[in-house]
Structure 1
Amino acid sequence: MKRVLVARLDSIGDVLLAGPCVRAVAAHAESVTLLAGPRGRAAAELLPGVDEIIEYLAPWIDPEPPPIAAEDVESLVKRIRNAEIDRALVLTSFHQSPLPLALILRMAGVPWIGAISEDYPGSLLDLRHRADGDPPEAERALSLAEAAGFRLPPGDDGTLAVRRPLPDVSALTGDPGYVVVHPNASVPARQPSLARSAELVRALASEGHRVIVTGAPGEPTAEVAGTSARDLGGATDLSGLASVLANAAVVVAPNTGPAHLAAAVGTPVVSLFAPVVPAARWAPYGVPHVVLGDQHAPCRDTRARECPVPGHPCLDALAPGPVLAAVAELTAITGGSQ
């Protein structure tokens, strides 16, 4: 294959989980174009194997979708046609359809398209793949690449990865070996309350851990850090955050993109996981991790954005003790924190 397009139109974590699939394609293609949404663009720039990025906000994927505009679709068709794509793989989560994008790819003249699809695709797909069971999302995406004839090269273990080298962030963090707490997620149902996160930071600091709190610009990380931790909220771009996470002994985070970024740089994760989506699919992949939170809570598998249960018990009923124990377990693997 000469030019292959891989599409993943979601957020940072979804794009990072597509990494093994992208590398499998890159091992057999002259160039790989990644079609990404604006929420995942920064992660696309970190993926090994990506040669070009096309950005498009897909109204059938984005959680805050704009109206569909003919001129936006026409512009995307033109960009894909100009890229002279030979094959395309459309990656989606189980609840998303690949067919709207497959139609656009056909309009752009892409001669061969593969995707995982439960819906009848007619002539939109050349490969209608079905993933058996309920695999982790990274394996689900990789299975599509394998079904299309793209396999990982020898020596690639199929875990998540980012481009190296990463920037030097030691001026922000000090020496390696700290514990990172990333308290926020893309939706409220997946993150503990600020009060619970701040309590956790204080508990970690009282146990002698050097704690760094990370977050995006505008997130209330200072409230979580208090006087017990260093607040790096909004202090880095995504590659800088990757470097902060790479030098941590352990990362404590909900189900959010930075948890997958920690996995991509090989750092163990204590996953504060709300069961609105299955941990089997979305827990940190390929690194030592501990999943905490009530996985049988009433919100299980609802994909809720706002917690439907008063008090958010799956995460806010989680005391610091189990988190401290999980951090101790995982820091033993990395040699401890300082």
Structure 2
Amino acid sequence: MADRPRRVLVARMDSMGDVLMAGPAIRAVAARPDTEVWLLAGPRGEAAARLLPGVAQVRVIGTPWITAVDRPVDRLLVDEVEALVTECDPDEVIVLTAFHQSPLPIALLLKLAGVQRITGASVQASAGLLDIRLLPGDDFPEDIPEPERNLRIVAAAGYTLPDGDDGALAVIAIDDPPAVLASLPPRYLVVHPGAQVPAREYPAQQHAAAVEQLTALGHPVVVTGGRHERDLTALVAGTTGIDLGGRLDLRGMVAVIGGARVMVVGNTGPAHLAAAVGVPIVGLFSAVVPAVRWAPYGVPTVLLGDQHAACRGTRAQLCPVPGHPCLTGVPPEAVVAAAQRLLAETA
């Protein structure tokens, strides 16, 4: 339609952290004059998608080849994609994927729905599916941070960040912070002990010891987690930390993390939320995925964990090495020392 702006549908269909790391690329697309960005997310990434600057509309479709969703690949899924294309009527689609994902399944459904121009990165042959195809390893190196990978993909479609945009992660300002924020002590730290899969979790008892040591040094500690993690956050907070487990939605997490001096967190979505609000991070980073790709981006960070452990690069959900040594080998004292170092460097 001539009376509406150009419309670009960007697909990033996995989890919270992945969507947040797509933010700079989405801003690059949205920066082009007379361009409107719709974001196609998966169920796990929807809340994060609604926090990204530059997104006009968010639509959600669960695809079992990207994240585990309780649905088959059937005619209903084909119809959902077709309905989205009919509603959005995109001038083009850009599919953002991690190195272990393929853009081709969703590109096929989009082509069947009538999309004429699709950009993506694929090591697989993609004639007829991707109109602009980047070849990972040739068109860009594999071992680069995920936000930079996403920027390379949208650049191939002709979109770059405008002058003055440093490419950092970002979220929109929260104008309705949770009431609990007003009751928190000044100059607090945040500890987020949970992770999406066990292979990325630092042991709860070691987390609890770090919280006890930090509070003994005079640093108030707020412990965050989802509703399903209340037992974990209670254990980690102990008698000295402030347990907010299950009390915050994602917008509340933005507000609470944004007020922290430092965050202690594993390789999980809230780490990228902290990066998006500019908070220094102690990253308890399991070696199951490469830190060079998924470590917190653009903020002062101290990474802890053996990045050369035997589990390196396995993408395992359960640690394949007895004892989970890449993280259990990090003593609570090292966590405390890293937090102290970041506090001194960013004071």
The bucket for the TM-score relative to the shorter chain is over 0.9
Alignment-derived partner of residue 188 in structure 2? 178
Match of 2:210 among 196, 200, 212: 200
Deviates more, 1:40-49 or 1:188-197: 188-197
Aligned counterpart, 1:161: 170
> Is this contact kept in 1: 2:10–2:40, CA < 8 A?
yes
Distance in 2 between the 1:163 and 1:91 partners?
21
Name the counterpart of 1:90.
Answer: 95
1:56 aligns to what?
A: 61
The one-letter amino acid paired with 1:44 is: A
SS at match of 1:331: helix
1:118 aligns with 2:123: yes
Contact 2:267/2:295 (<8 A) preserved: yes
Q: Residue 219 of structure 2: which of 209, 230, 237 is its match?
A: 209
Give 1:5 deviation, angstroms.
0.6
Corresponding position of 1:2: 6
Corresponding residue SS for 1:181? strand
Displacement of 1:218 in angstroms is 1.6
Once the 2 structures are TM-superposed, how far is the Cα of residue 81 of structure 1 from its aligned partner? Answer: 2.1
The one-letter amino acid of 1:4's match is V
- Alpha carbons of 1:94 and 1:330: their partners in 2 closer, same or farther (altered >3 Å)? same
Superposed displacement of residue 73, structure 1: 2.1
Contact 1:166 1:242 in 2 (8 A): no
Q: CA deviation at 1:107?
A: 1.5
Which stretches in structure 1 are left out of the alignment for 5+ residues? none
Q: Is the 8 A contact 1:269 1:289 kept in 2?
A: yes
- SS of match in other structure, 2:166: coil
Once the two structures are TM-superposed, the CA of residue 334 in structure 1 deviates from its matched residue by 3.5
1:80 Cα deviation (Å)? 1.7
CA contact (8 A) 1:166 1:239 kept: no
* Alignment match of 1:146 (pick from 146, 149, 155): 155
RMSD (Å), alpha carbons: 1.4
167, 191, 202: which one aligns with 2:201 = 191
1:264 aligns with 2:276: yes
Are 1:251 and 2:263 matched, yes or no?
A: yes
Alpha-carbon distance, 1:323 to partner: 1.2
Which residue number corresponds to residue 333 of structure 1?
345
| Structure 2: unaligned runs, 5 residues or longer | none
Is 2:207–2:332's contact at 8 Å kept on the other side of the alignment?
no
**TM-score of the superposed pair, with normalisation by structure 2:** 0.93
Distance 1:80 1:9 in 2: 16
Return the alpha-carbon distance in structure 1 between the equivalents of residues 272 and 186 of structure 2: 19
| Equivalent pair of 1:8/1:18 in contact (CA under 8 Å) | yes
Distance of aligned partners of 1:166 and 1:317 in 2 relative to their CA distance in 1, 3 Å threshold? farther
1:17 matched to 2:21: yes
Corresponding residue of 2:244: 232
Percent identical residues? 53
Q: Aligned to 2:44, what secondary structure does the other structure show? A: coil
Change (3 A) 1:115 1:200: same
Question: 1:147 Cα deviation (Å)?
Answer: 1.4
Aligned length: 335
SS, match of residue 303 in structure 2: strand
Farther-moved stretch of structure 1 (191-200 vs 16-25): 191-200
Task: Indicate the larger mover: 25-34 or 275-284.
Answer: 25-34
